[in-house]
A and B are shown apart, each in its own frame.
Chain A
């Protein structure tokens, strides 16, 4: 008796889970034509900086700083808070997100203590069909999410050939970060 009811509950739970994930599946993954995962944030840090140790530094851009950076780099700034880490040598490791017209790209960028970009690793690339991006609620789910976690919907497709994807938005994003370094990060006292 007990066993049967347990089974029923389990089955119900499974069914519920199935329905929920099917719903999520129907709502979210269809938004992406392609999503590819590369290095994790930790791997990227090691690839750029080896064993150098980093500590997270709380950096929030002021309105004034944002305006200056926006003008210098000619790019939009979506977030005030930086996901930035600094080593004792004064080198920086920054986790950032670039939002293009049709793509979301998670990046890891290393900037040394003279402001030179020492490495850029793409962590995750998501390309959308485009129509969801105008919906701010849909966009909101990507802001400020923890980089150690990943959306479950990613699916890697290997060996793709087709039109060349432009990395212009990444170039703009790097420009924004080097300007951020120059205006803000450089002046933060150790």
Chain B
């Protein structure tokens, strides 16, 4: 039996890959490398910060012309737009202009004056177009997608592994999740990081919360929005895939009244307060 545990900086955070299998050490090392290669690939496609990413090209050109997109972008945008529609725009990947304004994203592409929103995005098979100038940021969903892609690739290479897990800064996917324990990171009253254990309730989990040391910038923006006061709870969503968990935590965090939507997609939402007590949201 051999195992490997590695971490690399990708997607603006640290990505951990763990494999435990009855295979030679060299082989699990190269399987973990294949996993990281998938993560790197999605990083290069969906990074807002890299000027030659697929996302940057869409942001630069989609308002004036139809832009060809990869199957990966198609999948991510399909779920993103579906969630936007069903959450009446509470989940919205066209948030970049606001993030630029608040200083969370660099102003590398000129911020449009009156940016459009998710309703102005038209998705075709393999193409995308904006009907109004707008900018996309996939920070609320792409990490989850990258985790799924790396996980599926490694699982295919080693179907009988004892354990495979991928964790991109809290977007977690675990092969043998039944009986596994996870830790939810939260802040105590002194704003110190603490961990509270929870059983895994599905193969994937993701958390969202407002952290003074800089957490998910989407939430920082939206929670300073007048409609919503910041909350100290950490919201965790368990789901069948990491992309789903990643996106659904944003929905659950931002809109209590959309918890039905989380359930519709098969998600379970937990709220952890500053004392570390976690309870199922309903």
Contacts and interface: CB of A to CB of B under 8 A. Distances in A.
Given A47-B29, A127-B193, A164 B13 contact: yes
Interface string A147-190: 00000000001111111111110110010000000000000000
Specify which of B9, B12, B214 lies most central, judged by the most chain A CB atoms within 10 Å of its CB. B9
B8 interface: yes
B194 interface: yes
A113 interface: no
B9 A162 contact: no
A167 B10 CA distance: 8
A36 B209 CA distance: 22
A117 B207 CA distance: 31
A33 interface: yes
B219 to A, nearest CB: 9
A39 B6 contact: yes
A174 to B, nearest CB: 8
B105 interface: no
A4 B49 CA distance: 70
B9 A120 contact: yes
A85 B33 CA distance: 22
Nearest to B237: A161
A159 B13 contact: no
A130 B188 CA distance: 14
Interface string A49-73: 0000000000000000000000000
Interface stretch (B58-66, B73-81, B174-182): B174-182
A176 to B, nearest CB: 14
22 contacts: A33-B195, A36-B16, A38-B16, A39-B4, A101-B213, A122-B8, A159-B167, A160-B172, A161-B172, A161-B205, A161-B236, A162-B183, A162-B195, A163-B170, A163-B211, A164-B13, A164-B216, A165-B14, A167-B13, A167-B14, A171-B9, A174-B9
Which 10 A-B residue pairs are closest in the complex by CB-CB distance?
A162-B185, A163-B215, A122-B7, A164-B169, A167-B9, A33-B193, A159-B182, A163-B211, A161-B207, A161-B170
Interface of B: 4-10, 12-14, 16, 18, 29, 33, 143, 165, 167, 169-172, 174, 180-186, 192-195, 200, 205-207, 209, 211, 213-216, 234, 236
